[in-house]
Amino acid sequence: MKKIFPLILLFITTSLLCFYHPRMTFYSDWMLFVLLFTCTCVLVLFQKQRRERKKGKGDIQGNAFPYLNLMSEGIILFDHAGIVLAINAQAEKLFKVKRSAVIGTSLISTQPEVFWHYFSQISKIANRVITQDSTQVASFCLDHAQMQDSVDLVAKPTGERGVFAIVAKDSLQNYKLQKVGRDFIANASHELRTPITIIKGFAETIQDLPEISDGMLEDFVEKIVRNCHRMDNLVKNLLILTDLDALPKAQMQNCDIVCLMDNCAHTLLSVRPDADIEILHNHDTIMISADPDLLELALMNLLENAAKYSRRPAKISITIDKSDAGVDIVIRDEGKGIPKEDLDSIFERFYTVNKAHSRKLGGAGLGLSIVKTIINKHDAQISVYSQVDKGTTFTLSFNEAHCTVA
C-alpha cells in the first residue's frame, strides 16, 4: 500500500493538470502519457499484491496440507479475517465437513456458509484468538452422562503473520478411561466396606456382650471368618486384575489342554465332591500355545461359577474339540442361567446379575472379568449362551496358529 499511494497521488495530480488547468493544454499529450503510465503502474502493483496474497494462501494450503494429515489431532488454519486456509483429514472427520466445501469460508460469521459440527464453539475460539492474538483453550462435551462427544480445542497464532491454527482433539476416550478408573475405585471401596461393616458389627457385639452364649458366639465367629475370606478373595482378585493389565502378553508355551482341564476338574471336586463333571475330547492329547497358569485360572473361574450357580449336585459338561480351524473348549452347566439383557455386561468389572445372591456366595463380580482379560491375552475369543433356569454355556475358541495335535 505504501508503494501504491505515491502513484495514486501522481495520478490525481496529473488528471487535474491535464484536464482542468488552461495553461497546461500545450502539454496535454505528455500529461495523457503520464496519466496512462501511472494508471498502468497502479494496476500492475495491485495485480502483483493480489498474486502474492494468493500465493501465500496457496503455500499454506499446498505445502502445509500433506504435513497436517500426518497429525493425529484435527487442524484448521485460518487468517485474520477468519477465512479457512487449510484443514486436515482428522478435522474433517471430527467436525463432519468436507475440505473442498469449507476452504475459503468464514469461521467467525454468525451463520456458517456450510454445515460444521460444533460451529458455535469453533467460531467463539477463533474470534478470541484473532482479537487477542494469544493462545486460547476450550473444552466442551455434548453429554457426559450418555458418553457422547467430548472435544478439547486449542487456538493459537502460528508464527506466520496473520495466520492462526485451531488444534482439536477428541477427548472422549480419555474421559471414558477416567470414568472407568473412578467407577473401579468406587466399586472396590463399596465391596470392601460391606464385609468390614459386618465384621465390625459382630466384633463390637461380642465386645459388648461378655456373657454371650456359645451358640451365638460360634455363629458370630463363623460370619466374621466368612467375610474375612470374602475380603481376602476380593483383594486377591483385584491384585490379579492389576497384574493382568500390566502384563503385555501371556507367557506362551506348549501345554496339553486335556491334562490341564482334568487338573481343574479334580481341583473343583476337592471342594465340591458332589459335583457331576463330564469331560469329552476328540483327541487324547491336544496341545495349544498358552500360559498354563493363566489359562488354569480362567478355567477354574468358569468351573467354580458353573458349580456355584447350579442346584446341587451341580452337573457340568466340558467338551474339548480340535478341528482344522483350531480348538474349542465348551463348558456347559444346568444352573440358574443369565437373563438375555445381562449377557452383554457380564464381563464388566464388578458386574453381577443378582448382587444379593452373589454376595451371599462370596462373589464380587470380578471372576468373569479376569477370564475375559486372560482370554484376550491369548488372542482367543470367549462367547456365552444362556437361558434362564436352563443353564449357561461358555465357549473358548483358540485359532489354528496356537494349536497342535500330538
Q: What tens digit of pLDDT does each residue of 16-45 get?
A: 555 555 554 555 555 566 666 666 666 666
Instruction: Name residue, grid cell 454355556.
Output: 393
Residue that the C-alpha cell 473348549 belongs to: 329
Mean of the per-residue pLDDT values for the chain? Answer: 78
Question: Residue 351: helix, strand or coil by DSSP?
Answer: coil
The pLDDT confidence band at residue 354, using thresholds 50, 70 and 90, is low
Q: Which residue has the cell 463390637?
A: 204
Return the pLDDT at 397: 93
Residue 284: CB partners within 8 Å, gap ≥ 6? 258
Average pLDDT over residues 138-166: 72
The mean pLDDT of 115-123, rounded to a whole number, is 79
Mean pLDDT along residues 232-253? 75
Find out whether 242 and 185 touch, Cβ atoms under 8 Å.
no
pLDDT band with cut points at 50, 70 and 90 for residue 238: confident
Residue 74 reports pLDDT greater than 70: yes
pTM: 0.53
280 vs 41, more confident: 280
Q: Model confidence over 195-218: pLDDT tens digits? A: 788 888 888 888 888 777 888 888
Asked if pLDDT for residue 315 goes beyond 90, the answer is yes
- How distant, in Å, are the alpha carbons of 5, 166, 259 from that of 153? 42, 7, 57
Predicted confidence (pLDDT) at residue 77 exceeds the cutoff of 50: yes
The answer, yes or no, to whether residue 243 has pLDDT greater than 50, is yes
pLDDT band per the 50, 70, 90 thresholds, residue 62: very low
DSSP-derived secondary structure letter, 314: P
E-state strands within 61-185: 74-79, 84-87, 136-141, 150-157, 163-170
Please report, rounded to a whole number, the percentage of residues in the chain having pLDDT higher than 90: 16
- pLDDT of 288-303, one tens digit each? 988 888 899 899 989 9
Q: How far is CA 380 from CA 152, 240, 285, 289, 402, in A?
A: 36, 19, 20, 11, 9
Q: Which residue has the cell 496535454?
A: 28
Per-residue confidence band for 144, with pLDDT thresholds at 50, 70 and 90:
very low
Q: 290 and 402 in contact (C-beta within 8 Å)?
A: yes
- Position 276 pLDDT exceeds 90: yes
pLDDT average, residue stretch 349-371: 67
- pLDDT band (50, 70, 90) for residue 330: very high
pLDDT at 244 over 70: yes
Evaluate if residue 171 carries a pLDDT over 90: no
- pLDDT score of 391: 92
